[in-house]
Structure 1
Amino acid sequence: MFPIGDDNSARRGTPVVTFALIAINVAVFLIELQRGDAFVTKWAFIPARFSNDPGADVSTLITAMFMHGGWMHLGGNMLYLWIFGDNVEDRFGSVRFLLFYLVAGLAATFAQFAVNPESAIPNVGASGAIAGVLGAYLLMFPKARVNVLLGRQVVAMPAFIVLGLWVALQLVSGVGSIADTAQTEQGGVAYMAHVGGFIAGLFLAVAMGGLRKSNDIA
């Protein structure tokens, strides 16, 4: 079940922050390709390095959010941001949405850090912040129609089903990934960052006044 779009008929303005975030992520990834592993090592969030000297490595809490491990990683994240970010930004307003996005991303990073603070694996990606966007979208627009690709058909489904299944996958995968990461120290999907970002998105949607009903998508 692959989301490809949603109903934007109730959107009031242009989601400039969403577009800017997508552009920055793409630009940073192109720089990664040009500069190679040294660039990734310098600007990725590495839990063990942060544990040893948090002050010296604090900037990577932000820079890692705009880096990706490959074209599929980038493409998947930007697709989800494109589909769901514009509506959340429309509800919050651009400035609050940017703050929301960064805080959700930080919460996601620390959720993954809490699982294995001594890991030497570089953590990169916007997945945690975008998981926060999904959490907020679920609370704000639970009945919004999301177009998903099922085989060769496009089917419109309620957001609470699409995102509910996504959450279930993260929780099931995350339970196994804790032990796997601790035992093998190999790279992979940071499921706990997804879970942490999603929970942060739920909390922030309420705390930042995102549940006003005046602009719901039908």
Structure 2
Amino acid sequence: MTATEDTPLRAGFRWLASKRVTLGVVSLLLAVFGFELLVWLAYGVEGWQYFFLANLDPTPGWVMAPFAHRNPSHLLTTLVVIVVYGGLVETVLPDHRFLAFYVFAGYASTLAQLAAYLGGAPGLGTLGASGAALGLVALYVVRMGGRAIWAPATVTVVDGVFTGSGLVIVATVLANDFVPGVVFASGTAPLGHVGGLLAGVAGGVAVLLAERKSSPDPSLGT
């Protein structure tokens, strides 16, 4: 391989560099986390909870919770999923629709967990972009699963790898949240994750239907 030849790593970075909305979301989440640290230092844990935690009491947390994280590991794991599956979904959706879906999935996640608290579920509150991240995964998996049935010739091996990885991510999260004795991470928001996933399923179906309408001949699919 010569110096002028591309490498998978270089190609991957170039691909990611073209995903400006995904990178914008990542930058926003990093900026919010930095702001969280400043609030924590200035006002302590109670001030941090007031600004960033969504619970049944009306606070700024109702707005900020889908963009905030409780610690660096919480942020990092979410960012990894957003970078990969956000980039994949951004390839399919126009910028404004991608951003609208991401925000919708984030707030659908928060509202679902708040509904769980209203129904008597335990917990001090919810925050995090994991619901939105799972929404991206679900949208991609549903869209590619549908294409595998409708237009299998348009689905590549790489598509299959990311679809399979997405299914593993979803199964792992649901097992952690709902299967007794399975704990990969503690302190999660189970109904919040479900809310994000359902938003992603709805988004994936909508994308698939739009693609079928615009290209009824599978051989023309992209």
Q: TM-score, structure 2 length as denominator?
A: 0.70
1:189 Cα shift?
1.3
Work out whether 1:198 is the aligned partner of 2:200: no
- State the Cα distance separating 1:112 from its structure 2 match: 1.6
Match runs of 1:165-204 below 5 Å: 165-176=168-179, 188-204=187-203
Amino acid aligned to 1:137: Y
Distance between the aligned counterparts of 2:88 and 2:221, measured in 1?
A: 9
Deviations 1:33-68 (A, max 9, x none): 12202442122243231xxxxxx44x5333111111
Q: Secondary structure at the match of 1:47?
A: coil
Report if aligned partners of 1:13, 1:90 keep a CA contact under 8 Å in 2: no
Query: Alpha carbon RMSD of aligned pairs, Å?
Result: 3.2
1:23 is the counterpart of 2:24: no
Matches of 1:105 and 1:170, distance apart in 2: 16
In the TM superposition, residue 92 of structure 1 has moved relative to its aligned partner by 1.0
- Higher relative contact order (Cα pairs below 8 Å, separated by 6+ residues): 1
Q: Summarize the alignment of residues 1-218 of structure 1 with structure 2, pairs less than 5 Å apart.
A: 14-36=18-40, 37-49=45-57, 56-57=58-59, 59-117=60-118, 119=122, 121-142=124-145, 158-176=161-179, 188-207=187-206, 212=211, 216=222
Is residue 65–residue 124 contact of structure 1 (8 Å, CA) maintained in 2? yes
- Number of the residue aligned with 1:183: none
Deviates more, 1:106-115 or 1:118-127: 118-127
* Matched position secondary structure for 1:197: helix
Q: Deviations over 1:107-141 (max 9, x none)?
A: 11122222222655131111011111011111233
% of aligned pairs identical?
A: 26
Change beyond 3 A, Cα 1:144–1:121: farther
User: Gapped runs of 5+ residues in structure 2?
Assistant: 1-8, 146-154, 181-185
Question: Quick check: which has more Rg, 1 or 2?
Answer: 2
Matched-pair contact (CA < 8 Å) for 1:64–1:125: yes
Q: CA deviation at 1:173?
A: 2.5
Change (3 A) 1:121 1:80: same
Number of positions where the alignment pairs a residue of Structure 1 with one of Structure 2 = 186
CA distance in 2, matches of 1:202, 1:135: 5
Gap change, CA 1:8 and 1:93, over 3 Å in 2:
farther
8 A contact 1:140–1:211 mirrored in 2: no
Give the direction of change, closer, same or farther, for the CA distance of 1:81–1:215 in structure 2 (3 Å limit): farther
Q: Distance in 2 between matches of 1:65 and 1:83?
A: 19
Return the alpha-carbon distance in structure 2 between the equivalents of residues 112 and 42 of structure 1: 17
Once the two structures are TM-superposed, the CA of residue 215 in structure 1 deviates from its matched residue by: 7.3
